[in-house]
Chains A and B, each alone.
Chain A
Amino acid sequence: AQSVTQLDSHVSVSEGTPVLLRCNYSSSYSPSLFWYVQHPNKGLQLLLKYTSAATLVKGINGFEAEFKKSETSFHLTKPSAHMSDAAEYFCVVRRGGYNKLIFGAGTRLAVHP
Chain B
Amino acid sequence: DARVTQTPRDKVTEMGQEVTMRCQPILGHNTVFWYRQTMMQGLELLAYFRNRAPLDDSGMPKDRFSAEMPDATLATLKIQPSEPRDSAVYFCASGLVTGTGNTGELFFGEGSRLTVL
Seen from chain A, the residues whose Cβ lies within 8 Å of a Cβ on chain B are: 32, 34, 41-46, 49, 51, 90, 94, 97-106
Contacts and interface: CB of A to CB of B under 8 A. Distances in A.
B103 A49 contact: yes
B44 to A, nearest CB: 8
Contacts, number: 62
26 contacts: A32-B104, A34-B105, A41-B110, A42-B110, A42-B111, A43-B4, A43-B93, A43-B110, A44-B93, A45-B108, A46-B107, A51-B104, A97-B101, A98-B31, A98-B55, A98-B97, A98-B102, A99-B48, A99-B97, A99-B106, A100-B48, A101-B104, A101-B106, A103-B43, A104-B42, A106-B42
A105 B33 CA distance: 18
Interface of B: 4, 31, 33, 35, 42-43, 45, 48, 50, 55-56, 91, 93, 95, 97, 101-111
Contacts of A42: 110-111
Nearest to B48: A100
A77 B111 CA distance: 27
